[in-house]
Structure 1
Amino acid sequence: MMLRAGLVIFLVCLQLSDAAKNVSERIYMTIDSKNGFSPCIRLTNANKQVGCSSPSGGAHGVMHLVNSSVDLAWVMTTGTHHPYVPLITQSFLATQPDMLTKFIGNSRIAGALIIMEKSSSLNGQSFSPDLKCPNQGFGLYSKDAQCNWNPAGSGLLLGDYDFPIYSLFPGTNLSTILDCTRKYNSFVNDAPPDYPLCATNMLDFMYAVKDTFTCMTQGLYGPIFGSSTRCDPLEGYNVWGTLTGRNASDTYSEREIILVVTRLDAKGLFKDVVPGAESSTAGMVALMAALRALAPEAAREEEWAKKIVYVIFNGESLDYIGSSRMVYDMKKTFPAQVPSGENIFAPATFNLSSVKTIIEVGQVGLSVVPDNLFLHYDNGSNSTEALRAILTQHGKDNSMNFTAGSGTLPPASSQMFLREDKRIEVAYIADHGSSFTNRFYNSYLDDAENLKVTENSTSSATITQLTRLSTVVARTLAQLAGANTTIQSSIAANAEYIRDLTVCFTMNFSCPLVKQSFTAGHTLPDYLVNSRYIGVNNGPNNYLVNAVQRLIAQSLGADNRTLNTSTSCQAPKGDSLNSYLLMRAGVNGTEERCVIAPVYTYFVQSPAFLDPVDYRSTVYSTWTESRWNDISMEIFLKPSPTSEHTALGVGITLVVVFIALTLQINRVSSSLFDTSVAHNT
């Protein structure tokens, strides 16, 4: 009897559940996270947590377009429909970069949405969410030193926001959000809007808490019951190599290496929108083009007194993760020794004392005066006058002018080397003097438009400057290594290659140049042009690292058309002297080739996370990224409180009636159901 009554109840509940799901789908519209928005996530370091998080159940509020001080006052103090989710234009945020900080602790603010715009829409304004002195205290100089390299820096990246913040991509989703907001939430004849109102629910709950020590030692369910950590150390790969490959049996002597370096990464307020066009891409392109220009002369390197080693560091924007790890390892030997035995081939090892010179290519895509760059150095380290003189002379030979810096290095990877060994001579090349020319340092606005790059022009000021600089760097490296003047003068960078490389890394990652460096059928999502953030656990940044390695291999490597399958394009047992990389034989064809080159990737994680761990380190980066379960966004029409209360009352009444009806059915079930069949059986 009870079983049949229960079955009836279950079927009714199931029907109601399906109906509720259908109603929910009609009420809520989900915004696609891949094409609609990018979240601000939470990070931790030794001292604190930064970034954003919603409550565990999400944050919901009425959307209100904020494009003026009046709009801002409405959501913060006078509006009658709070909590609000301000819908802020980037151009207005640039005028008041501390706006998001003012929202902290304000119960009227449930979240914030930033409408992404092009840099040209800011009318000359600057916007950088990083500090005025990026990475201060983790390099060569004291954390208390006066510093203003990034005058546009607002420090928004270091804010701890108790609400979610999303950036909204241009497109259909943004249009839908704006249409809904304008239709239902706009003032009419100076009268505030009335219900229903367009609202949103933002779910962006982060598990990280307090600081890195707490985050790494306290499990998800507390220090006793939890085994899984709340966060993960930032990690990725450096790219490094030599011109020709040098076996471990032929070691480097003291001060034999000329090191040329740059960085690959950048950071930003929003996880998936970190283009880093000027912050990192311009310098990386210049270095890669210089290596390509050196390639025809690479075989002569054995005749030269010095050897060239190149490194493209990752994680530098987060307290020098890549360079600090390399220097940490070089205190002993780099790379790690390979066990001895027959037919063992591996790159020759070196340490800090092997390095004589470092040339670092920084932000070099923008100059106040075209083809005018700066040579920065450190007054407290080895003299660099001779090095700067060589660079300056090659600059003059290529219509480029260099001005000496003030004797203090900008935020630079080479600071990590000088912190350990000031006998190394360092020249840091940049397009700025005492402060960045990049108005959007570590902002999503630092894109191809900021770099003034177009797909078809090789004669733009940016491409011309990068081409001349690449030639200067390549010739300087050749001279320092020991090449004669005839070889030096024959070296020249290719403007078309630089144009194509810049377009690939800032506009179209599935460009022919990158496509040809991967196997046929390999998918190359365009969002990778925005993946400069180092991240964790094999994130999108690793695709970028792989592409950089393969593009350098194309320049310096040897083609083998017979090893044209994934099984045959493998290094022989015991041979790690070269990387074996399977690539297309042409841009659109299906034939493949094996490129063999002395270019490597090198896993990097801050030394603070090595045994013994030091989660409170003040010497090394301690950045971690929070874990989370889901990040989502929905929009819906919010009814008036009266309507909500009425709906709640009706719902409670229906539940009570349903329970009473169920009990009544159970009491009279014997008269409603024929039980004779059950009894006879």
Structure 2
Amino acid sequence: MPRIDFRLLLLIVAINAVTADRIKDMIYMSVDGVAACFRRHNGTHQFGCSSSRGGSVGVIQILDGPDDLGWLETNATAESYMIVMPISMFTQNIIERLEATNIINGILVTKNSSEENPSSYSPEATCPNKYSSHKMCDVKNPWNPLGNNFLLKDWKFPIFYIENNDLVMKIKDCYYKHNAHDLKNLNEKSLCALEMQSFMSAAVNSESCIRRSQNILYVHSLRFCDPLGDRNIHWPLSPLTNETKSVTLVMARLDANSMFDGFAPGANSAVTGFVTLLATAYYLNSLNATISDTNVLFSLMNGEAFDYIGSSRFVYDLEQGNFDALAAGSLKLDSINTIIELGQLGNSENKLYLHANNYMGNNLIEELQKTLSLENTTISNSVPPASIQSFLAVRPNLTAVVIADHGNQFTNKYYGGILDNNETIAFNRKQQLNKTLANIAIKLGDLLYEKVTGEKPSSGNSTVIEELVTEMLSCYLISAQCNLFQAASSPGVKLSNQLFSLYVGVNGAPNIATMYTAQLLALLTGEKLPEMSAQECVDHRLSWMGGYNFTGICINSTVTYTPAVSPAFIIDGYPMQSGLYSTWTESVWQSLSVRMFLKPSAAAERLSITLGSVVAILSFIIVWFIKSRSELLFKQTRTAEDC
């Protein structure tokens, strides 16, 4: 008998295993590029979406108009459905009607690049940060009247968002081939279905999930949720010293909100404001002001969409005397005499407003009114949902103003959502928005220069500032693969051709948008040291960046980070339901995915169950029969032993 070469056999088996298609891949088609709605909590409630533990499954039903919705309400025959709908139909009224059917297992929201945006889409509340604001919102005249409150809803099924036109067409093709031609007899044939996996580990509220995470009965440490938080960014015009008597704080919000993971563009709600701040810092730094006893601090606050995480921590550290990140001594809250916040400015080419508090007699603010022609659009004692809320809560008499593109109600129709992007603020390289933001930066910079030096500045180059604003807007709204971010990176770093999400994220997880913004601020305002090599730069603990020619340059900068984590998570025994500080957490999850497959008909499923049951019963009978006759069937004949 020929010997079997086991090595050859093993090689054949290995090759077959590698080249063979897995059965799973033959059954399911993965829907890539989707963004999931996920779960967050505060001190009292849970918000967002979750699938069942094993994934939620349903038959695909396309909703393109009112007739499709009407059919689903009156004639649906399948047990559960996965709704595929354009974002134009993702409205409060339609969602309420879908929920009332009790047959919805999930929703896939689609955005086709060729389709026009809906007239409005704001998933935020009509009163953003309503319960954490110093000055409460008037519910009869809210700041965000178009808000549908989707971000503060506890959804009973998973929701995903997709912009990939090709995959959407594949889903629709499958639907029209298998589901659409005979809607009355869906149970009698195989149907195209979706499986959504987005099970969230945490539930109830932040206090509950944190307590579960600290349970000593678990053999291995388990996390069910993480506190939201990241880092604030600060840059003083000149290093603060003990001789600094007063500080003018210029700040803007760095983060944006969104319902879907990875999609938080924040074009109007955040980008226009902090880009103007960056341009102001660059311009003021270029004027080479000589600082005496008055200084300017530029600060970017993170986590403001979630009950002012960054600004409340900033104020807490100031009150505790722990804010010592800016060189000699600690900055005191009493040292800040004026706050100027740059808010939403995406529609500022039409008109600017000044939301002013305690400004009478403040020369800087009165000059700001005149310079930006805000005398007739100043709203006294007005506090929009902005970072100044945290400061006025502890210092009600502090001079604090917000420059914004809105009066008593937002002009941003897409506040807090995935459509707050470059399209809805009509950004392009020749648009008036760039000039308007540059004009604000220059005029504010001139006033700050006069404030700290007592002298009028020489006229700056407005073209340079406008070009800088245009380039920054392109980096944050079109693609992060841009020259400015490349210059602010280490030499040789390859940037991805995508947008940075401005969602604050969870504490401890690096936020790439925060990192690049801080590096960009350092590049724009830091001292260039071309004589230093890369090694010398690192040895002196300075920043080695690509520079404008991408060959490498050493930057000496006073840009610094401070924690943007709510005091609620550092105060021992803090009562989570008190409402004093932000208590937002994000649930932990294992996987976020969507798969499409062909679901057998009900008749086929019944046949499978029947055949399986018959086979199982026959197997039991055969096993019983063999066992009961084992002595006869397996009787062994004895052979006489050799004598």
TM-score (norm 2): 0.88
Aligned length: 618
Of 400-409 and 410-419, deviating more is: 400-409
Given that residues 377 and 384 in structure 1 are in contact (C-alpha distance below 8 angstroms), is that contact kept between their aligned partners in structure 2? no
Spell out, residue by residue over 1:266-304, the C-alpha distance to the aligned partner (whole angstroms, 9 max, x if none).
111112111001110000111101111112223x332x4
Does 2:355 align with 1:376? yes
Does 2:545 align with 1:583? yes
- Map of 1:87-98 to 2, 5 A cutoff? 87-93=84-90, 96-98=91-93
In 2, Cα distance between equivalents of 1:385 and 1:126: 38
Given that residues 355 and 379 in structure 2 are in contact (C-alpha distance below 8 angstroms), is that contact kept between their aligned partners in structure 1? yes
Give the drift of 1:360: 0.3
The equivalent of 1:114 in structure 2 is 109
1:675–1:131 CA distance, 2 compared to 1 (3 A)? farther
Unmatched 5+ stretches in structure 2: 1-16, 639-643
In 1, Cα distance between equivalents of 2:514 and 2:27: 43
Given that residues 264 and 314 in structure 1 are in contact (C-alpha distance below 8 angstroms), is that contact kept between their aligned partners in structure 2? yes
Does 2:378 align with 1:417? no
1:104–1:675 CA distance, 2 compared to 1 (3 A)? farther
The equivalent of 1:5 in structure 2 is none
Spell out, residue by residue over 1:347-395, the C-alpha distance to the aligned partner (whole angstroms, 9 max, x if none).
542111000111100001214xx252000123xx453664442113222
Among 294, 306, 324, the alignment partner of 1:318 is 306
Matched to 1:445, the amino acid is L
Give the drift of 1:647: 1.8
The equivalent of 2:515 in structure 1 is 546
1:319–1:409 CA distance, 2 compared to 1 (3 A)? same
The equivalent of 1:427 in structure 2 is 401
Among 311, 326, 330, the alignment partner of 1:349 is 330
Spell out, residue by residue over 1:424-477, the C-alpha distance to the aligned partner (whole angstroms, 9 max, x if none).
2112100111111111001100111112112xx2x3111111111111221122
Give the drift of 1:605: 0.7
Among 184, 206, 212, the alignment partner of 1:218 is 212
Does 2:628 align with 1:639? no
Give the drift of 1:218: 1.9
The equivalent of 1:341 in structure 2 is none
Given that residues 265 and 280 in structure 1 are in contact (C-alpha distance below 8 angstroms), is that contact kept between their aligned partners in structure 2? yes
Given that residues 238 and 295 in structure 2 are in contact (C-alpha distance below 8 angstroms), is that contact kept between their aligned partners in structure 1? no
Does 2:506 align with 1:532? no
In 2, Cα distance between equivalents of 1:251 and 1:128: 46
Spell out, residue by residue over 1:305-339, the C-alpha distance to the aligned partner (whole angstroms, 9 max, x if none).
410001000000111000000000000225237xx
Does 2:266 align with 1:276? yes
The equivalent of 2:41 in structure 1 is 44
In 2, Cα distance between equivalents of 1:183 and 1:117: 21
Given that residues 528 and 544 in structure 1 are in contact (C-alpha distance below 8 angstroms), is that contact kept between their aligned partners in structure 2? no
Secondary structure (helix, strand or coil) at the match of 2:408 reads: coil
Give the drift of 1:570: 3.3
The equivalent of 1:28 in structure 2 is 28
Given that residues 51 and 157 in structure 1 are in contact (C-alpha distance below 8 angstroms), is that contact kept between their aligned partners in structure 2? yes
- Map of 1:176-255 to 2, 5 A cutoff? 176-187=170-181, 195-219=189-213, 227-246=221-240, 250-251=241-242, 253-254=244-245
1:675–1:84 CA distance, 2 compared to 1 (3 A)? farther
Among 321, 330, 335, the alignment partner of 1:333 is 321
Among 378, 391, 395, the alignment partner of 2:372 is 395
1:388–1:78 CA distance, 2 compared to 1 (3 A)? farther
1:306–1:512 CA distance, 2 compared to 1 (3 A)? same
The equivalent of 1:569 in structure 2 is 537
1:111–1:318 CA distance, 2 compared to 1 (3 A)? same
The equivalent of 1:408 in structure 2 is 382
Give the drift of 1:261: 0.2
What is the identity percentage for the equivalent residue pairs of Structure 1 and Structure 2?
29
In 2, Cα distance between equivalents of 1:635 and 1:585: 47
Among 339, 344, 355, the alignment partner of 1:358 is 339
TM-score (norm 1): 0.84
Matched to 2:517, the amino acid is V
Given that residues 235 and 558 in structure 2 are in contact (C-alpha distance below 8 angstroms), is that contact kept between their aligned partners in structure 1? yes
In 1, Cα distance between equivalents of 2:609 and 2:322: 67
Given that residues 36 and 159 in structure 2 are in contact (C-alpha distance below 8 angstroms), is that contact kept between their aligned partners in structure 1? yes
Secondary structure (helix, strand or coil) at the match of 1:52 reads: coil
The equivalent of 1:64 in structure 2 is 61
Does 2:290 align with 1:301? yes
Among 148, 153, 159, the alignment partner of 1:165 is 159
1:563–1:385 CA distance, 2 compared to 1 (3 A)? closer
In 1, Cα distance between equivalents of 2:279 and 2:19: 61
Spell out, residue by residue over 1:189-242, the C-alpha distance to the aligned partner (whole angstroms, 9 max, x if none).
x86656221100111111111111111112498987785241110010111111
Given that residues 442 and 460 in structure 2 are in contact (C-alpha distance below 8 angstroms), is that contact kept between their aligned partners in structure 1? no
The equivalent of 2:479 in structure 1 is 508
1:180–1:252 CA distance, 2 compared to 1 (3 A)? farther
Given that residues 257 and 355 in structure 1 are in contact (C-alpha distance below 8 angstroms), is that contact kept between their aligned partners in structure 2? yes
